[in-house]
Amino acid sequence: MNLQSEENMPDPLSPEGLERFGEVAARHVGPEKIPGLVALVSREDQVHVETLGSLSVGGPPVRRDSLFRIASTSEPVTGAAIMALADEGVVRLDDPVERWLPELADRRVLRRMDGPLDDTVPAARPVTIRDLLTFTFGFGMVVEMFMAPRPWPVVQAATDLHLGTLGPPNPEGQPDPDTWISELGSLPLMAQPGQRWMYNTGASVLGVLAGRAAGLPFADVLRSRIFEPLGMGETAFWASDVSRLATAYVPTTDGLQVWDPPAGQWSHPPAFADGAAGLVSTAEDLLAFARMFLTAGGPALSKEAVAQMTRDQLTPVQRAGGADAFLHGRSWSLCQSVITQGPRAGAFGWDGGLGTSWLVDPARALVVIVLTQRLWETPQAPAVHNELQGAAYAALT
């Protein structure tokens, strides 16, 4: 339900702007570019969707209800589930996580992130739920690890344990939640809790925590707290109808190569429901999720939970630890980025490295969703995402 009166409704997106939006989308689609995409722009009740290309090279056409692996765009959904549990009083954001995750009690911290695993000091304080939501609990991706001439010991150990948290999503390789959190708990933290922003792993841990706090599998927590209230019936950790799932491609010097086929890793329920990168979804479901934020959280979250999820939560010191390498000038809230400066200040959202982006601008009642099946080649969003977001803003009248 719209909260704005008819007199205060924003002007619709212009026909010329929407035509341009379609032209921008079409320019990026092709067998050697992006095989297919769904691009959605919405303002209040006005929704415009472009469906172009095919689910695979030479395959069936993309449709409005096609499924895509949304990778890290899963993280805002995970954050919302935790905030729903907080609204219920099941958890509090400043609670130590060891109440539900004893595997993460009495943490040790590496003296140097690239140092030996046994060269550690005690953690200065316990890890909290807020640390997980803000990605400052002390473990995750940092730009330095990708520049190292050889894998750091902690990175190699995480790889050997099949945590799937310091690289691309790997649902077939990850163990069950209890084993996963036990294996993570066997490793030292890379930084003191609250010290610096580190990407990704916090959302994976939150999925385990949510399941234990609610007494349900994490997939059921998402279904009962987020998906059912919002009508997100197509979003899940696997595709029950693989005929609607796009083939994932990775660009190489020899052209696009299949990274994951429809009958691949997302064709069956995973052992580990990864809150950092595990979901498949549709443009319509992600629009429903966006509209929750535009209607003060209803019917899934409280107004206060939405306010928490859409404001900058990082200190300058936490950002100084290398967040800009991933955030590119944005800051971080609870499991999603926020824009704090410039003409789009106040907008928020997050992207997925398997080819997706999700942006909400509450000041303009604007939502932009781009779903593709081409993996990113760099931490920076591919041009198609930036250009479609720019075209959506240009369509405002």
Mean pLDDT of 117-136: 98
The confidence score (pLDDT) of residue 150 equals 95
The confidence score (pLDDT) of residue 3 equals 40
Interval 211-232: pLDDT, tens: 999 999 999 999 999 999 999 9
Whether residue 154 is predicted with pLDDT greater than 90 in this model: the reply is: yes
SS3 172: coil
Interval 237-282: pLDDT, tens: 999 999 999 999 999 999 999 999 999 999 999 999 999 999 999 9
The confidence score (pLDDT) of residue 162 equals 97
Whether residue 9 is predicted with pLDDT greater than 80 in this model: the reply is: no
Cα–Cα nearest to 50, from 77, 75, 17: 17
Mean pLDDT of 188-194: 98
Longest dimension (CA), the chain: 65
Identify which has the larger pLDDT, 154 or 377. Answer: 154
Whether residue 358 is predicted with pLDDT greater than 80 in this model: the reply is: yes
369 confidence band (pLDDT: 50, 70, 90): very high
- Angstrom distance (rounded) from CA 43 to CA 274: 31
The dihedrals phi and psi of 52, each to the nearest 5 degrees, come to -135, 150
Do 248 and 254 meet the contact criterion of CB atoms below 8 Å apart? no
Q: Alpha carbon of 125 to those of 93, 154, 272, 304, 318: distances in Å?
A: 15, 21, 28, 27, 16
The confidence score (pLDDT) of residue 1 equals 34
| Lowest mean pLDDT across 131-135, 331-335, 375-379 | 375-379
Whether residue 7 is predicted with pLDDT greater than 60 in this model: the reply is: no
Whether residue 364 is predicted with pLDDT greater than 50 in this model: the reply is: yes
Paired tokens of 83: 């905030």
Interval 90-123: pLDDT, tens: 999 999 999 999 999 999 999 999 999 999 999 9
First to last CA, the chain: 23
Whether residue 4 is predicted with pLDDT greater than 70 in this model: the reply is: no
Interval 102-111: pLDDT, tens: 999 999 999 9
The strand pairing partners of 281, in sequence order, are 68
8 confidence band (pLDDT: 50, 70, 90): low
Give the chain's mean pLDDT.
95
Interval 60-82: pLDDT, tens: 999 999 999 999 999 999 999 99
* Pairing mode, strands 356-361 and 348-352: antiparallel
Domains of the chain: 6-74+234-394 (3.40.710.10), 79-214 (no CATH)
